[in-house]
Amino acid sequence: MLLEIETLTILQGLTLGLGGFIVGCLAGLSGIGGGLLLVPMMVGLGLTSIQAIITLGN
User: What is the three-state SS of the chain?
Assistant: CCCCCCCCCHHHHHHHHHHHHHHHHHHHHHCCCCHHHHHHHHHHCCCCHHHHHHHHCC
2 pLDDT tier (thresholds 50, 70, 90): low
Rounded CA separation 30/11 (Å): 28
Q: Evaluate if pTM is beyond 0.85.
A: no
Rounded CA separation 7/23 (Å): 23
Question: Residue ranges of the domains in the chain?
Answer: 30-58
Q: What pLDDT is stored for residue 1 in this prediction? A: 47
Decide: 33 and 43 in contact? Cβ < 8 Å. no
